[in-house]
Amino acid sequence: MWEAPTTTNGFRNRKTNGKPQHHTRRKVQIQLRQSTTGISEKRIALSWQSFFRSRSDLHNKLKLDVTAKLPIALIRNFVLFINDTNKMTNQTILVTGGTGFVGIHTILQLLQKGYHVNTTLRSLSKKDSILNALKEAGIDDFTALAFFEADLTSDTGWEEAVAGVDYVLHVASPFPAQDPRDENELIIPARDGALRVLKAAQKAGVKRVVLTSSFAAIGYSRNPKDHLFTEEDWTDATAAIPPYIKSKTVAEKAAWEYIETEGGNLELTVINPVGIFGPVLGGISSASLDIAVSGILNGVIRESPNFTMGVVDVRDVAAIHLTAMTHPEAGGERFIATSDGVMSFYDVAELFKKERPEWAEKIADMQPTPNEFYIEMTNHKAKTVLGWQPRSKEAALLASVDSLPRN
C-alpha cells in the first residue's frame, strides 16, 4: 500500500528538484492517535489529500476543498481505495480483444480502478463499439484508454500495443456459434495468437500475462462419473473432440510450454472459465449467452440435451483476471472460474419461467436432464488462493435476461 516518505522528525515530505520540502503547517487538523482499523488518522488525511491533488479531474468535478477539515470517520473506509488507486494509476494494462464479452467488462473494471488500458482490435473501425459500451456503463473519460490494431494471425501491431505495459490480459480468442469445416480455423489463431502475445510481452519486459483459456481445456476427456474436475485435469487434445475444445487445449498447452522453455522472467497465469453469462454491455454478448439464454427465451432451443454446464458471470470473470494479474501466489497457476454447481438447459428454462415470467410465453416445456449427466467441478482453488467470490449461477443467468431488450 502507498505511504508517503517520512523524515527523521516524523513529518511527511515531498521532493522538488531533489530537495525535500517539509510540511510544517497544515490546514487540516490531524490527530496522531491510531484508529481502530490500525490506520492512523494522519495517514488517512494525507492519503485523501494526495489522491485528489493527483487526480485533478475528480478534484475539479467534485469541487472539493482537500485542505478543509474532514470527518475522519467519513473517509476511513475510503482510504484503501485511495492508496490502491495511487499505485494503480501509473500502471498500464494490455487487454487483447477489447470488443469481446470478457474484454469489454475487463476494460471497464480496469478503468474504474484507475489503470491505464491499451486494447487491441482487428480493425480500429470497431473502436466505437467499445466506446459506446463503456459510455453505457457510465465511463465518460477515455484519456486512459488507447486502441491498437493487431490480429492474432499477424505480428503486425503487437510490439506497439505492448510497449510500456506492466501486465497483459490475453482474453482474445474465437468462439464460434458453430464448428468450422476445418478445425485449424480455430486452432491456429488460438495457439499462434497466444504465443505471439507471450513473445511480445516477454520482449517488452511485461511482468505477467493472464491467459483466458477455458474449462474446455480441462473437462472433456475423462469420464465425469464420480469425478470432481479440478485444475489438475486436462482435456486430451489428441482425442476426437470438437474444434473449439481442441483449440483451447492446444493453445493453453503451447503457452505453458513456451513459459517453461523460453519464458525467462515472464510469468503466466491461466483462467479457465465455464459458460460465461451476465449482463450484455453495449450490445456485446457471448456465444454462450446467445445460445443458452436467447435461444431458450425465444423458443429456438426446445429440448434439454444430455449435457450440463458450469455457469459464471462475466463480471466475476473480469474480476478474477484483475486479481490474478497482481496476486503474488497466482503466477504459474491455473484457476477454474465457475459459480457453485452446474445446470442443464431444462434448469435454465425453469429458472426463467419462475423468476422472469414475462419471458415465459416462448420458452419450451422441456424434459429434465437425467441426473447421471450432472458433472462436478470445483472453484475451491480460486476462492482460497485468490479470495474470489463469484455470484450464483442463477444470478448470472438472470442478469443476462435483464440486460436483453424485449421484442
Write out pLDDT tens, residues 109-151: 999 999 999 999 999 999 999 999 999 999 999 999 999 999 9
Q: Are residues 54 and 145 in the same domain?
A: no
Residue 24: pLDDT band (50, 70, 90) is very low
3-state helix, strand, coil in the chain (%, to 5): 40, 15, 40
Distance, first Cα to last Cα, the chain: 49
Q: Are residues 58 and 114 in the same domain?
A: no
User: Worst-scoring range by mean pLDDT, 59-63, 72-76, 173-177, 202-206?
Assistant: 59-63
| pLDDT at residue 13, rounded to an integer | 36
Q: What is the DSSP string of 312-366?
A: EEHHHHHHHHHHHHH-TTTTT-EEEE--SSEE-HHHHHHHHHHH-GGGGGG----
Q: Are residues 78 and 122 in the same domain?
A: no
Domain assignment present for 125: yes
Q: Are residues 147 and 49 in the same domain?
A: no
Q: Are residues 330 and 251 in the same domain?
A: yes
Domain assignment present for 7: no
Q: Are residues 284 and 326 in the same domain?
A: yes
Domain assignment present for 302: yes
- Structural domain ending residue among the three candidates 44, 59, 87: 87
Residue 188 has pLDDT above 80, yes or no: yes
Q: Are residues 63 and 181 in the same domain?
A: no
Q: Are residues 346 and 241 in the same domain?
A: yes
Q: Name the residue range of residue 49's domain.
A: 13-87
Domain assignment present for 273: yes
Residue 173 has pLDDT above 90, yes or no: no
pLDDT 10s digits, 315-333: 999 999 999 999 999 999 9
Q: Are residues 377 and 336 in the same domain?
A: yes
Torsion angle, alpha carbons of 133, 138, 142, 144, to 10: -110
Domain assignment present for 4: no
Q: Are residues 83 and 107 in the same domain?
A: no
| pLDDT at residue 180, rounded to an integer | 78
**Is residue 136 within 8 Å of residue 281, measured between CB atoms?**
yes
Domain assignment present for 1: no
Residue 384 has pLDDT above 90, yes or no: yes
Domain assignment present for 407: no
| pLDDT at residue 89, rounded to an integer | 60
Residue 193 has pLDDT above 80, yes or no: yes
User: Domain tally for the chain?
Assistant: 2
pTM above 0.75, yes or no: yes
Q: Are residues 118 and 235 in the same domain?
A: yes
90 vs 70: CA distance, rounded Å? 27
User: φ and ψ at 56, to 5 degrees?
Assistant: -60, -25
